[in-house]
Amino acid sequence: MMMDHPLLITTMLHRARKLFPKKEVFSRCFDQDHRLTYSQFYERTCRLANVLASLGVKPGDRIGSFAWNNHRHLELYFAVPCSGAVLHTINLRLFPDQLVHVINHAEDKIIFIDEDLVPLLARIADQLTTVEKFIILSDKDELPEINLPRALSYEKLLAEAPAEYDFPEDLDENTPAAMCYTTATTGAPKGVIYTHRSIYLHAMMVALPDVLNVRERDSILPVVPMFHVLSWGIPYAGVWMGSKLVLPGRLLTPEAICKLIEEEKVTLPVGVPTIWIGLHQHLQSGASYDFSSVTYIVNGGSAISKSLIKSFEENYGIKVLHGYGMTETSPVVLISEPKSYIDQWDPDRRYAQQARQGLVVPGTEMKIVDVNGKEVAWDGKEMGELCFKGPWIADSYYRDPERSAEAFRDGWLHTGDIVTIDEEGYIFIQDRAKDLIKSGGEWISSIDLENTIMAHPDVVEAAVIAIPDEKWVERPMACIVLKESAREEVDQQDILEFLKDKVAKWWIPDRVLFLDEIPKTSVGKFNKKELRKTYS
């Protein structure tokens, strides 16, 4: 038979240091940029593992990280799970009471913090009941002056630790390796625990040519934060395959990202639509860079509009690859790679296809069920709830039996996303179950409507919410941000006129509201709960 060999993150680390010791990690920190080879990265990771041991970290202990995308965060990605502990990547953008909740709920024993983020934790430090030490990630020789108790310097600890460490080879592959909390829109954030096995399988799947296509010759720029679902597994896949990693730190302006792409010859920039919308505006304003290294822009987190995909390709020669996932799915489960014969479709139809959430990735099982639990037809019309199962899909939330029972039923994760699936198997999100507008017994997809409105040349952002209606129960209202140049010119009538031949008549919003900005959640999605509260 076959060896009973566990699937461990450790194998990625060893492959990088043995086969790709000269390959590079670029890291932008608060004070300076760093360049490390995988050989140096490995040594520092060993030192960090020794530091963890010397601080009394035991198998299964939760270790928090509160950091931007940089090399020290990458070291934590490997040293913590490979030595048997669990990395809890804390979302910087949570509100203070949420931060207190997740850190206490996870029972983090140590938290590693970027120096510029110290103030965010300092103000809640006295409410953290389990944290024994704060380790400050900084380039400065001496600890910066901070008002955190029990604080130590990361670099000082590393310098004093032995440079060699024997990572255990006999961990069970189902050992917890990392955890993230989702930003629940109601109630406290929900924790998801990833195992060595799930991270290993997900990373290999992500590297497949029809998923993100991660190769040794790539230079990968994860703009998506490392505190956001393990940066979609990119750091693990990249290290494993020996890719160059470009970790951009905190400065994520369009200019900074464009310069990094040009200077570090990035092949695979990966991030959320907000980033690509900003970058696109920057290019449209006349900025010019050498993007010849880019294979494609990878978009995830939220949908990206067909018009943006089209403009990137036709105006700048940059292909956009759109994927879908969530904290509970590790995250990548759908990818909108066009099938070979879609190349022959006319471009507009192809762009529309690429804007869909895509095909289910290898190794994940998917079904779409209507309210009666019946699978919907593959006709691009019938709506149903998207459900998943597979080796990198969660089966529960951490210590939360009640909400686990809601989402995980009959062996499936019920995502709460209402979707259609077309004849080619491409899934298209219509809405979150709770954001659907129920008008006169029919469903209106707020997202579909938003995308249609965003195709208007003067619209930057659009969020559609339900407002209560006596006759129809609910009716849509559009909240729109216009381009600055158009703010004096475009009015409600222009928008409704624009929609007339594009959506069903009864989908046309009753009201249009022009805002300076759409409120966002901590992960940059439209905060519709907030909008509903304010305007309904």
Binding interface with a copy of itself (CB under 8 A): 1-5, 7, 11-12, 14-15, 18-20, 22, 174, 176, 193-195, 197-198, 200-201, 204-205, 207-210, 213-217, 240-242, 330, 337, 339-341, 359-360, 362-363, 365, 389-396, 411, 424-425
- Whats the size of the chain, residue-wise? 536
Q: Look up tokens 């108790």; give the residue.
A: 149
Q: Which is nearer to a copy of itself, 186 or 340 (CB)?
A: 340
> Among this protein's residues, is 534 annotated catalytic?
no
With respect to a copy of itself, which residue has the nearer C-beta, 323 or 476?
A: 323
Query: In angstroms, what is the minimal distance from the CB of 71 to a copy of itself?
Result: 21
Is residue 190 flagged as an active site residue?
Answer: no
Instruction: Please give the structure tokens belonging to residue 209.
Output: 């040519």
Residue whose CB is less far from a copy of itself, 126 or 343: 343
Give the contacts of 370 (CB within 8 A, at least 6 positions apart). Answer: 376, 382, 383, 384, 385
Please say which residue, 204 or 247, places its beta carbon nearer to a copy of itself.
204
- Our answer to whether residue 11 is catalytic in this structure is no
Of the two residues 210 and 484, which places its CB atom closer to a copy of itself in the complex?
Answer: 210
CA dihedral in degrees (433, 434, 440, 444; nearest 10)?
Answer: -60
How buried is residue 13: exposed, middle or buried, by Cβ count under 10 Å (0-12/13-18/19+)?
A: buried
Q: Pick the catalytic residue: 24, 75, 313, 328? A: 328
SS3 of 129-161: CCCCEEEEECCCCCCCCCCCCCEEEHHHHHHHC
Q: Which is nearer to a copy of itself, 412 or 472 (CB)?
A: 412
Cβ distance to a copy of itself smaller for residue 204 or 326: 204
Residue 460 parent element (H or E)? strand 459-469
Least distance in angstroms from the C-beta of 376 to a copy of itself: 14
Neighbours of 524 (CB within 10 A): 17
Active-site annotation holder among 216, 443, 533, 534: 443
d(CA 477, CA 499): 13
Angle CA 271–277–280, to nearest 5: 110
Nearest approach in angstroms of CB 344 to a copy of itself is 12
**Which regions of 483-522 does DSSP assign to beta strands (E)?**
511-514
Least distance CB 445 / a copy of itself (angstroms) = 24
Q: Token match 């990625």: residue? A: 12
Q: Which is nearer to a copy of itself, 3 or 504 (CB)?
A: 3
Could you tell me the smallest distance in angstroms from the CB atom of residue 354 to a copy of itself?
15
First and final C-alpha spacing in the chain: 64
- Residue 3 Cβ, how far from a copy of itself at the closest point, in Å? 4
Show contacts of 17-22: CB within 8 Å, 24+ apart.
17/41, 17/42, 19/242, 20/216, 20/242
| Residue 253 CB neighbour total at 10 angstroms | 12
Report the amino acid identity of residue 191.
G
Q: How far is CA 408 from CA 194, 230, 395, 402, 416, in A?
A: 16, 22, 6, 10, 11
From 10, 45, 175, 182, active-site residue: 182
Cα–Cα distance measured from residue 141 to residue 136, given in angstroms and rounded to the nearest whole number: 11
Compute the least distance from the CB of residue 196 to a copy of itself, in Å.
10
Q: Alpha-carbon distance 276 to 319, whole Å?
A: 12
328 noted as active-site residue: yes
Burial of 498 (0-12, 13-18, 19+ CB in 10 A): middle
| Nearer of residues 339 and 438 to a copy of itself, judged by Cβ | 339
Nearest approach, Cβ of 398 to a copy of itself (angstroms)? 8
Distances (CA, A) of 337 to 129, 178, 299, 342, 528: 46, 28, 12, 10, 29
Residue 359 Cβ vs a copy of itself, minimum distance, rounded to whole Å:
6
**Residues classed as catalytic:** 182, 328, 438, 443
